[in-house]
Copies of this chain bind each other. A is one copy, B any other.
Amino acid sequence: MIRASWIARRAGDAVRTQMHYARQGRITEEMEFVAERERLAPELVRDEVAAGRLIIPANVNHPELEPVAIGVASRCKVNANIGSSAVTSSLENEVEKLRIAVKFGADTVMDLSTGPDIVATREAILRASTVAIGTVPIYEAIERVADPLDLSAELLLEVIEAQARQGVDYMTVHCGIRWHHLPLAQKRLIGIVSRGGSLTAQWMMAHRAENPLFERFDDLLAICRRYDVALSLGDGLRPGALADAGDAAQFAELATLGELAQRAWAQEVQVMIEGPGHVPLDQVELNVEKQIELCHGAPFYLLGPLPTDIGAGYDHITSAIGGALAGMHGAAMLCYVTPREHLGLPELEDVRQGIVAHKIAAHIADVARHRPGARERDDDMSRARYGFDWDTQFALSFDPDRAHELHDATLRHQAFRTAEFCSMCGPKFCAMRISQDLSAGACGRPSRGAVPGQLLLDEYAAK
């Protein structure tokens, strides 16, 4: 637990949020840790945290954490949602999902459990997790009342405080959905698709009252400031269909989220903004630009986006397509979507598929943004490919077991692991081998002897 001693040393500080320290000009161990991982200067990390453009979700009660940076200056991150629901899964299974998610590269994990045993499941996940853990507190609050309409601001804040004490690093709260936004969403093809958003809207309509967490936002910030819980300002009005993308409801809420971000920063509370959802590919860049503008550069955390509604069974791919483009334009973190999205709760293999798809998307974004060192692994892979070094190729892929398995399924014998061809082309058609021969100058029949590469170049130059 690398963080235990860091936290202990700050026990007496009145405010312990990363943003507070950054604004004091102090570089914390967390900032140093992420700076090294990201190959960024610690001073840059500090300045980005101070400006609110980068967050390091790191609850003072989560010593198991290895901190992560989420922001436009750092690599694009991937979050995996896990969690039981009333109809499926168990505590042990959720911890196993956490293990799989981290193994395949999840940068953060959200525990979205909704069934019974929420508290115990979260405790098991937190204590087992080296990655930042996020939650959606309204899911637990709802379980504590007989009717969702019995929810109250007090109960929500009580749950949030309890989760903060437990060590949750960031929380999704749907504070941005306002009373005057609701009619805007009534014009939609499919209304409100965020669970937290729809529960909040239902409560507001039934009670003819403003969003309780919007009204009590200052109390919420006080809790976050105490434990350094980062807020993930949820987009309760995100579009759930292409037909509803980019409408007035979505952008009205986004503007509110921008105001809330500024109020959070005034309290030195770290904050990121959640984004859609279902968005046509030609609107992805616009979504990122609008978020940066309306939310003053706060990190953008996207659920997808899904650029089509019809990918059921393959929505990890749909989402990876939208996510890569969003990442290229500046999104800070992608929430994975699994093949089971729209169909059921993800199981272990879905978690693996979802993570790998989005790690690929995030990496593609890192390369496209020319982030420090991002392309080195690609170049190493290409060199290994050119050199027929199969074991290195497996090792450099996102899922070495899978790559190995696919290769060996066709060419089972151990000898093929060192063969200078694969089953795609067979020995006669291997472009890599021919290309190697060409650059070595061995381009003629063996009987003609090899022609040194330099000689050939001279010959070209003379033409």
Q: Give chain A's interface residues, CB within 8 Å of chain B.
A: 85-88, 114-115, 139, 142, 147-149, 179-180, 182-183, 186, 189-195, 197-199, 201-202, 205-206, 208, 240-243, 278, 280-282, 307-314, 316-318, 320-321, 324-325, 328, 339-345, 347, 356-357, 360-361, 363-365, 367-370, 375, 377-379, 381-383, 385-386, 393-394, 396-399, 402-403, 405-407, 409-411, 422-432, 434-439, 443-445, 448, 451, 453, 456-457, 459-461, 463
Closest-by-CB residue of B relative to A446 is B147
Verify B428–A189 contact, CB threshold 8 A: no
Contacts of A192 on B, CB cut-off 8 Å?
Answer: 431, 434-435, 438
Verify B193–A432 contact, CB threshold 8 A: yes
Verify B191–A378 contact, CB threshold 8 A: no
CA distance A174 to B50 in the complex (A): 56
CA distance A148 to B428 in the complex (A): 9
Verify B367–A242 contact, CB threshold 8 A: yes
Closest-by-CB residue of B relative to A318 is B360
Verify A314–B453 contact, CB threshold 8 A: no
Question: CB < 8 Å: which of B194, B278, B343, B382 contacts A422?
Answer: B343
Verify A328–B243 contact, CB threshold 8 A: no
Verify A360–B321 contact, CB threshold 8 A: yes
Given A242-B379, A438-B191, are A202 and B443 also a contact pair (CB < 8 Å)?
Answer: yes
Question: CB < 8 Å: which of B311, B364, B393, B394 contacts A307?
Answer: B364
Verify B281–A324 contact, CB threshold 8 A: yes
Contacts of A311 on B, CB cut-off 8 Å?
Answer: 360, 397-398
Question: CB < 8 Å: which of B344, B378, B424, B431 contacts A198?
Answer: B431
Given A183-B460, A307-B324, 19 more pairs with CB closer than 8 A: A114-B428, A186-B453, A189-B379, A193-B432, A198-B431, A201-B438, A202-B434, A241-B378, A281-B368, A282-B369, A308-B360, A309-B382, A309-B385, A310-B377, A310-B397, A313-B356, A317-B356, A344-B409, A344-B410
Copies in the complex: 2
Closest-by-CB residue of B relative to A190 is B386
CA distance A206 to B444 in the complex (A): 5
Given A190-B432, A345-B410, A432-B190, are A357 and B198 also a contact pair (CB < 8 Å)?
Answer: no
Residue with the highest number of chain B CB atoms closer than 10 Å, among A381, A431, A436, A459:
A431
Contacts of A339 on B, CB cut-off 8 Å?
Answer: 406
CA distance A86 to B423 in the complex (A): 8
CA distance A191 to B440 in the complex (A): 11
Contacts of A199 on B, CB cut-off 8 Å?
Answer: 429, 434
| Interface CB pairs A-B, < 8 A, 26 | A85-B425, A87-B426, A88-B410, A183-B457, A183-B461, A189-B386, A190-B432, A192-B431, A192-B434, A202-B434, A202-B438, A241-B378, A281-B324, A307-B324, A307-B364, A308-B364, A309-B379, A309-B382, A309-B385, A311-B398, A312-B393, A313-B406, A314-B356, A317-B356, A343-B410, A345-B424
CA distance A145 to B320 in the complex (A): 45
